[in-house]
Amino acid sequence: MAQDFVTVFRSADEAAAEDAAAVRDLLADAGMPAILRDDNQPGVPEGAWEVCVPAENEVAALAAIAQSKQAQPAPDDSHSMDLETIFEGVGATGELDAIGIQTVLEASNIPVTIVGAPQIPNLPFMVKVPAAMAATARAALAEAQQSGPAAAEEAEQATEPQV
C-alpha cells in the first residue's frame, strides 16, 4: 500500500532549494522520513520546492519546524544600525557637495550612504552614516574643512606617480 505524504514546507523564493533541504535535514535529524520535491513533480507549483512527510508525521513535523524557527536568533531591532543624516543639500550644488562629503568620509573609513535623485533637482541630497559613527563623521568633516584646499592638494599630490 502506498504511503500518503503531506506537504509541511513550501517555498518559491530565491533560496527555496536550500531552505527546503535544510527543513528536510532538520526533520531527518528528528527521526522523521521526509522527501524533497521540486516543480518537476506533479502538483508542485512552478519554481517551488516542497518538503513532504508521511501523513502520520504531519503534526510532529510542523512542531519541529516551528520549534526550529523559535530557536533562531531574533532580528536585531536595536537602533545600532540606524542611519543619521549629517548633511542635506539642495539645489545645483547639493549633489556635488554630497559626493565631496562622501569622499572625505570614505577616506576616513566611515561607511556612507547618499540619498537623492539627480533627475529631480529640487529634492535634497542627504548624506547618511551609521548613528554610532555620526560624531566621528562630523569630526572628520570639520578637520577636512579646517585643513582647507591646501591639504586636499597635498593629499592629491601624494597619490600622483612621481616622475
7-21: pLDDT as tens digits: 999 998 888 899 999
Domain boundaries along the sequence of the chain: 5-71, 79-158
Give the confidence band of 52 by pLDDT, cuts at 50, 70, 90: very high
- Per-residue confidence (pLDDT) for residue 142, from 0 to 100: 92
Cα dist from 143 to 89, 95, 102, 113, 151, whole Å: 20, 21, 14, 20, 10
Q: Under CATH, which architecture does the 5-71 domain have? A: 2-Layer Sandwich (3.30)
Give the confidence band of 162 by pLDDT, cuts at 50, 70, 90: confident
In the numeric block, the cell 530557536 is attached to: 71
- Per-residue confidence (pLDDT) for residue 44, from 0 to 100: 87
Give the confidence band of 145 by pLDDT, cuts at 50, 70, 90: confident
Topology (CATH level 3) of domain 79-158:
Alpha-Beta Plaits (3.30.70)
CA 66 to centroid of chain Cα atoms: 24
- Per-residue confidence (pLDDT) for residue 1, from 0 to 100: 40
Q: What is the pTM of this model?
A: 0.48
Work out the percent of the chain whose per-residue pLDDT is above 70: 88
109-137: pLDDT as tens digits: 999 999 988 888 788 999 999 988 899 99
Cβ pair 122, 90 in contact under 8 A: yes
Q: From CA 29, how far away is CA 31, in angstroms rounded?
A: 5
**What is the DSSP secondary-structure string of 71-111?**
HSPPP--SGGG-EEEEEEE-STTHHHHHHHHHHHHHHTT--
Mean pLDDT of the chain: 86
